[in-house]
Structure formats: structure tokens, C-alpha cells
Amino acid sequence: MSHSPRQTDHAIHSQFIERWSPRSFADTVLTQEALMPLFEAARWAPSASNNQPWRFAYGLRGDAGFAKIASALVPFNRAWAEKAGALVAIASASTLERDGVSSPNPWHAFDTGTAWGSFALQAHHAGLIAHAMGGFDAAVLAEALKLPEGYVLHAVVAVGHQGDAADLPEMLQAREAPSPRRPISETVGHGAFL
Ligand SMILES: Cc1cc2nc3c(=O)[nH]c(=O)nc-3n(C[C@H](O)[C@H](O)[C@H](O)COP(=O)(O)O)c2cc1C
């Protein structure tokens, strides 16, 4: 009997352990209609002062935007992510504008991570896979996507339909499985951080 590495110690909604980040994209197109609900889910994430600092730029397989984002990926990621249906760059505004005065927003990355989490779970609900990547050239991507002044790039996400793991290079096939997690007992302190 196979033993899943995703056993929980406490009862939670199955979405949290069923979502994972495969690399085996099916080499199929993703329509704009299929992609937009993922941004819609991200849109409703909570943020400090409801500032909504997250920003997204995307390309659909075969279009110029997709090629621009793909060109900024490190070769390891590009090799499998080019088979995704869409590539999405995630950035955030690092400053707040209030009454014409600009000040740093210390929570911009925290809030944008929350939005990405909703995006990923919505992808899972829609029967799609979403795989975030930090392996990209930020200078190349900023230039290619016209990242505005004061914005910070966080990740590129490959989105699409899951394909056959057997189509991945052998080295990646071995890693194509849901991963475990550190136990709560090593993560959560009662009264103080561990
Ligand atoms: C911000 C961020 C950057 C990541 N960068 C990469 C990457 O460059 N290449 C890659 O193959 N996976 C990347 N990952 C995927 C993680 O390795 C993966 O989410 C993690 O191992 C947990 O696995 P799971 O998403 O399947 O639960 C990244 C994930 C996040 C959230």
C-alpha cells in the first residue's frame, strides 16, 4: 500500500493537502476565460488597509507576453514551464500613496503572498495546476513587462492542465510527487516562538 506524505495531524479542508505543484504541464492552451477566475480569487485576498498591493502580468501560450516571461526564466524552469498554458508574473507596489505622499508599505510582500495562495487554490478548484517559480532574471523580466517604478517582482507562476509525468525528463520524473511538511510541533510555539 502506498503511503502518502500528506497526512494531517488535524482535520482540515482537503484542498490544502490536495494542491501541489506538478511540473508535468500538458502542452495545451489555456483560455483567458479559464485564467481570469484565478485573478478573481487573488483579488479578494485581505491586505493591510485594503491596499491590494499585488499586480499581475500574464501571457497565454503562443503569444508575445508568454514568450517574454519565458525568456526571463532560468533554464531549469524554462524547460518544463514552457509547456504551461499561461505564465503569470506577480509583483507588488512597495509604497503606499496617501494624500499625494508616498511612504513604504511594510506589508506589500505579505499581502501579495496571500493573494498568490488564493490564486493557487482557485487553480486547484478549477482542475488546473499552478507552479510558482523564483528562478527568473528579475532585471530581464522587469524590462520585458514594463514593471513600473516602485514595484517589486516576486515570482512567475506557470498555470495549465496537468499532463503525463512520463513526458518529463527522467531527473524531474522522480520529483513529480506531492511533498511532505515539517510537523506543527516544530513550527508553532505556545507563548513564544520555538
Ligand atoms: C516563491 C516560490 C518560488 C519557487 N521557485 C521555484 C522554482 O524556481 N522552480 C521550481 O521548480 N519550483 C519552485 N517553487 C515550488 C516549490 O518548490 C514548491 O511549492 C514546494 O516544494 C512545496 O511543494 P508543493 O507546492 O507541491 O506543495 C517555488 C515556490 C514558491 C512559493
* Confidence at residue 97, expressed as pLDDT on a 0 to 100 scale: 87
Query: Element (H or E) spanning 104, and its range?
Result: strand 101-104
pTM: 0.97
CA distances from 15 to 11, 81, 117, 123, 183 (A): 12, 23, 12, 11, 18
The CATH homologous superfamily to which domain 21-165 belongs is: NADH Oxidase (3.40.109.10)
* Confidence at residue 3, expressed as pLDDT on a 0 to 100 scale: 61
* Confidence at residue 2, expressed as pLDDT on a 0 to 100 scale: 47
Ligand 1, atom 19: closest residue by C-alpha: 21
pLDDT confidence bin for 98, thresholds 50/70/90: confident
Calculate how far, in angstroms, residue 100's C-alpha sits from the geometric centre of ligand 1.
Answer: 38
Pocket of ligand 1 (CB under 6 A): 20-21, 77, 132-135, 155, 178-179
Domain layout of the chain by residue ranges: 21-165
- Residues above pLDDT 70, as percent of the chain: 98
Calculate how far, in angstroms, residue 13's C-alpha sits from the geometric centre of ligand 1.
Answer: 21
CB burial string 47-56: b at 16+ within 10 A, e below = beeebbbbbb
How far apart, in whole angstroms, are the C-alpha atoms of residue 123 and residue 128?
A: 5
- What are the pLDDT digits (tens) for 153-189? 999 999 999 999 999 999 999 999 999 999 999 999 9
pLDDT confidence bin for 27, thresholds 50/70/90: confident
Ligand 1, atom 15: closest residue by C-alpha: 132
